Amino acid sequence: MKDFDSLVGIWNEQKTAPQVDHQKIIDQYKKSREKLSLKFWKEILLMLPAFLIVVYLWFTFSFDFWTSYLGLIMVAACSIYFIVVQIINLKNIADSNTLFDKPKDHIQFIQKFRKSRYIQHTRNYKIYTLFLGLGISIYFIEFFYTLNVWLMIGVVGATIAWFAVCYLYLMKIYINKEEKKFTEMIDDLERLNNQFKDEA
């Protein structure tokens, strides 16, 4: 009988889910949010110089072809779009303060935010890349008539290679890292929410 009681005790211990440290998960979640916000700020600060270079080119150089101005407008529009999207993302994170009031709603917010980010990285990024590539291509028409042929081929080849590396390789790494971070955040919050349910 004693052995049976011991076996039941061991079985119950295995069935019981380990308690999570509330404060540890909350601190970890806050750090994840801060890192995400910091990433958005870095991307804004990296895009600003690109936009300022386009503005500088517009007002400093006198181009022979109207296509150069059209190309610059398209590149500037892409830069502005990127900055605006990141500002919206920052605002969404700043406005999401439902963690302590309504944890379940907050988990839904993170899931919705994750979905919107995935759309930005896939469908929207394709349109953004196409528009940016077209803008740069139109801008290059000006140099087709002035640069050495081999130099022009080198510049165009390097630009296409850079777009290919970003689209086919770097963007996949970027998406995977962000998806992993969102999964960790959601898993932690769901564990915390489930534990509060168990304790209620």
How much of the chain exceeds pLDDT 70, in percent?
Answer: 82
Give the pLDDT score at 4: 46
Per-residue confidence at 109, pLDDT binned at 50, 70, 90? confident
In a domain, 159, yes or no: yes
* Distance (Å, whole) CA 151 – CA 145: 12
Helices (H), the chain: 2-15, 22-60, 66-95, 103-119, 125-144, 149-165, 171-199
Give the phi and the psi of residue 94 in degrees, each rounded to 5.
-65, -35
pLDDT in tens, 146-197: 888 888 889 889 999 999 999 999 999 999 999 988 888 888 778 777 766 5
Structural domain harbouring 178: 32-94+107-195
pLDDT digits (tens, 9 = 90+) for 50-76: 999 999 999 998 888 999 999 999 999
CA 44 from centre of chain: 12
| Residue that the structure tokens 């962000």 belong to | 178
Please answer whether residues 61 and 129 qualify as being in contact, where contact means their C-beta atoms are separated by less than 8 angstroms: no
Q: Is the dihedral of CA 142, 147, 153, 154 positive or negative?
A: negative
Spatial separation of the C-alpha atoms in residues 163 and 133, rounded to whole Å: 8
In a domain, 171, yes or no: yes
Return mean pLDDT, the chain. 83
Residue 100 is given by DSSP the state T
Here the tokens at position 77 are 């529009």
The structural domain count of the chain equals 1
Q: Is residue 186 part of a domain?
A: yes
Does residue 198 carry a pLDDT above 70? no
Instruction: Name the residue among 108, 113, 101 with its Cα closest to residue 196.
Output: 101
pLDDT at residue 51, rounded to an integer: 95
In a domain, 200, yes or no: no
Q: Which of 11-15, 43-47, 48-52, 82-86 has the lowest mean pLDDT?
A: 11-15
Rounded average pLDDT over 118-139: 93
Indicate if the pLDDT at residue 105 is higher than 80. no
